[in-house]
């Protein structure tokens, strides 16, 4: 049943958030530490285990895949609710700090990703 998939997703989500919250408490941080990431790992494990044991059928998977497919619409809705006005009013210092951060992080990402060994897929055009 499709709902089983969504329920599995919901249980993983809640458990992950709960564990992230407890991890935050344990570390003395007033924030959720990786709750969503933990939930993702739980769901990946549940899928592997479910396939292995044979209780996760195609119909149930639909209940998860539907929410994965809603991801982009949800992100568009998120963009529509950003406080863009306040961001643009942040002044030269906020803009300078943000632009420099994004630019330097992009350079860092470019550097690390150029070290990636071209493993079979898409041959890299240049060897740096």
- Where in 52-91 is the site for other proteins (CB under 8 A)? 61, 64-68, 70-91
104 binds other proteins (CB under 8 A): yes
Tokens 């344990």 locate to 26
Q: Footprint of other proteins on residues 106-125 (CB under 8 A)?
A: 106, 108-110, 112-114, 116, 121-122, 124
50 binds other proteins (CB under 8 A): no
* Number of residues located near other proteins, criterion CB under 8 A: 77
Tokens 């458990």 locate to 15
4 binds other proteins (CB under 8 A): no
Cβ burial, residue 41 (10 Å; 0-12/13-18/19+): middle
Half-sphere exposure of 41 (CA within 13 A, CB side): 10
């Amino acid at each position: 049943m499709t709902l089983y998939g969504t329920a599995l997703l919901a249980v993983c989500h809640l458990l992950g958030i709960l564990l992230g919250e407890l991890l935050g408490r344990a570390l003395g941080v007033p924030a959720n530490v990786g709750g969503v990431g933990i939930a993702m790992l739980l769901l990946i494990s549940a899928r592997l285990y479910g396939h292995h044991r044979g209780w996760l059928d195609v119909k149930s998977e639909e209940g998860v895949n539907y929410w994965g497919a809603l991801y982009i619409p949800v992100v568009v809705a998120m963009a529509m609710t950003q406080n863009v006005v306040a961001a643009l009013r942040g002044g030269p210092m906020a803009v300078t700090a943000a632009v420099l951060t994004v630019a330097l992080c992009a350079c860092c990402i470019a550097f690390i990703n150029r070290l990636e060994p071209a493993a079979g897929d898409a041959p890299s055009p240049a060897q740096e």
